[in-house]
Structure 1
């Protein structure tokens, strides 16, 4: 059975960071999951940790927490969806219905990335492979039809808009992964003076713009005085912005990372205006109603994708029985083929072929008649007639 465990919506960031999975640990955790699950996919973003898996084990949730070295007392902080509910959830996630920022445009790429990691480890087989491929296709189709990308929203766009609205012109970004790259794009679309990008590997950044300066991550404290807004989005497992390293001046700081990049005590200082990922929903977004309307109008795409996958999965459950039918069919024709080969030199071939073909037909027609009579005596002839009529195209 396909299942999902994911963080409840009301779980605070203090708990989420304890159940987060940073990219460098994702493969290791997947390997641990494959020891207890048939299939597994980890979807971990700044705002969610979800594990999709296939298992019939009633104690699987406890086993997953143990495999990932998570505190079992936090099981109460996760939901466990099974079967159709898990399928529905993923389809809605990939289209942005379950995001903190409704319709945000990063989640499709994040689901695709999660799926790509599993392909290398072969941790997704038939069902999860089909589910994620269908979900990604659904997400693409939904965005094309709804034109939701024409009303863009992401954590990056929201924080940059807030900073620009406040009149800030000098920025610093910590980290240059997917979020950092998108954030820099939004910043450079605005009228700014300078953008400093702090990275550990300068080769990862390729921006030709006189307003951009790439700085070594270890030197970032030397540049705090030059900026009025810092946006941190690293994948570090620990804090990277500390109170005793910040300048004695007003700063706007956004923490888009989970685990958090900014130590909690920073927000207690009146000089610093600090926003973490949980606070982004409070930032005013004028496009919210437009996105909501477009998403509601195109929800049928999600519903259709859910229905199609459930139908595929239901039919797939018949696969073992269908395989048996095919084997029986092969046995029947092989038996008659063997008879033909043995007798073709001693009998008239046309007469022999007619005899064997009629024998093949009778093998099924006569059996259908026997079953129909048996079901008629049990009062089920109507249902049996309907099925046999469809098989024989009567």
Structure 2
């Protein structure tokens, strides 16, 4: 079974490209239906976050070129443009990659915990759509086990610095005292939950949370003493907020340049601090051209995040060792499964030969043949049948210079040990 991982991430592609190949929840069913047919893969999973889009596929052949063409076509992109940003990992390297992703070793924020949950969600979605079979299931289960060990056995997750934390840290560059500022958070997912938590810890007391569903917005806002609204109410609250941080799964921008311009006229040059964590982006890029607006995307958070990377390098080395062990354990597991399948076939063949020879012996006994003669004939016939094909293949391999086959035969049947026992037997007598 061949395994292929194909994708782009924050290192290989800017947000402008990442947002164009992000998979929205609404198109996931369509994507799964097309992907396996287009690639010829028997199993598939899709991970799509603000920092990466990755496809995990298992099949009989290397399907990377087919997947690349399908990915470009699905998102109406030129395959040549996409090819420059895409990375491909195969087999053991693909397993290592997915384990590093799950452990937070390939994230923009080294050791960030959110990717682990996102990968579990991707696996669950693949199972929901019937796209994940036994091979990917084993890989993901082993991956999650390794990621848990990284979390519990290394310090990579201590004092976590997430994208959400980095966004709030950057707000200090604009506002010296965040307790005086009002925040508008757009979305109500896990990232925005973290943003709300960090803003609260930084002193922000006045929150507005806007979301597609009011109930979810109110639930998150009330946890921090704020107010929940629906997305359509954003223009009403825009003039009175200072900090805007957005992270939704919307395929189209939620906040446009026109709405911000109208709000700025009422603010009398009071600055806006905005961070658009979403991919595709929630805030129109043109908003950045407006005076008194400081708009950052997820790619602009690198400086804060690089400091985090330096502080965790030791833990990362320990984590890499755990990943290496995890990859080896998974490969050993696959080899063991392959051995089980081979041994099953070997046993079935032996049992078929046994049944044929047994039936021949029973017919001879029913016809009145001498039992001792029948038993000796049964033993001789079964031995010849079992040894004939292996003997032919060993002679052929030896003639071709593949002497390792003879060595394996001696090891399988412990012939050296038998010879050693035979040599010492006279002394024992």
Per the TM superposition, whether the score is higher than 0.5 is: yes
**Residue ranges of structure 2 left out of the alignment (5+ in a row):** 265-269, 416-429
Change in Cα spacing, 1:373 to 1:273, as seen in structure 2 (3 Å) is closer
**Structure 2 counterpart of 1:235, from 237, 244, 249:** 249
Q: Deviations over 1:133-161 (max 9, x none)?
A: 22222211111111322231211122123
Q: Answer yes or no: is the 8 Å Cα contact 2:178–2:203 preserved in 1.
A: no
Q: 1:35-184 counterparts in 2 under 5 A?
A: 35-37=37-39, 38=41, 39-54=43-58, 55-57=61-63, 59-60=65-66, 61-75=68-82, 76-163=84-171, 166-169=176-179, 170-184=182-196
| Contact residue 151 and residue 287 of structure 1 kept, 8 A | no
- 1:310-329 to 2 correspondence within 5 Å? 310-313=331-334, 321-329=342-350
Q: Shift in Å at residue 30 of structure 1?
A: 1.5
Distance in 2 between residues matched to 1:153 and 1:252, nearest whole Å:
20
Structure 1 residues 376 and 14, CA, compared in 2 at 3 Å: closer, same or farther? closer
Partner SS for 1:19: coil
Distance verdict in 2 for CA 1:230–1:353, change over 3 Å: farther
Equivalent pair of 2:45/2:131 in contact (CA under 8 Å) = yes
Q: Deviations over 1:314-350 (max 9, x none)?
A: 5656677555323302313433554677688889999
Distance 1:32 1:70, change over 3 A: farther
Change (3 A) 1:287 1:58: closer
Residue aligned with 1:270, SS: coil
**Could you say if the C-alpha distance between residues 104 and 168 of structure 1 is closer, same or farther in structure 2, counting changes exceeding 3 Å?**
same
Match of 2:419 in 1: none
Q: Deviations over 1:265-317 (max 9, x none)?
A: 21122311111011011236654333221111231111112223334445656
Which shifted more, 205-214 or 16-25?
205-214
Correspondence for 1:6: 7
Q: Hey, what does 1:200 align to over in structure 2?
A: 212
Quick one: distance in 2 between partners of 1:277 and 1:56?
33
Q: RMSD of the TM alignment (CA)?
A: 3.2
SS of corresponding position for 1:115: helix
Structure 1 gaps of 5+ residues are: none
Shift of 1:93: 1.4
- 1:151–1:290 contact (8 Å) kept in structure 2: no
- C-alpha separation in 2, matches of 1:243 and 1:371: 75
- Counterpart CA distance in 1 for 2:123 and 2:302 is 27
CA distance in 1, matches of 2:376, 2:119: 58
Matches within 5 A, 1:374-385: 383-385=404-406
* Structure-2 separation of matches of 1:71 and 1:376: 53
Task: Spell out, residue by residue over 1:190-216, the C-alpha distance to the aligned partner (whole angstroms, 9 max, x if none).
Answer: 432111111121222534546221112
Q: Which residue of 2 aligns with 1:211?
A: 225
Q: What secondary structure sits across from 2:48 in the alignment?
A: strand
Task: Please say which of residues 295-304 and 347-356 is displaced more in the overlay.
Answer: 347-356
TM-score, normalised via structure 1 length: 0.86
Equivalent pairs counted in the alignment come to 393
Residue in structure 1 matching 2:326, options 305, 308, 314: 305
Comparing 113-122 with 155-164, which one deviates more in the overlay? 155-164
Secondary structure, in 3 states, of the residue corresponding to 1:3?
A: strand
Farther off after superposition, 264-273 or 368-377? 368-377
Q: Quick one: distance in 2 between partners of 1:353 and 1:111?
A: 61
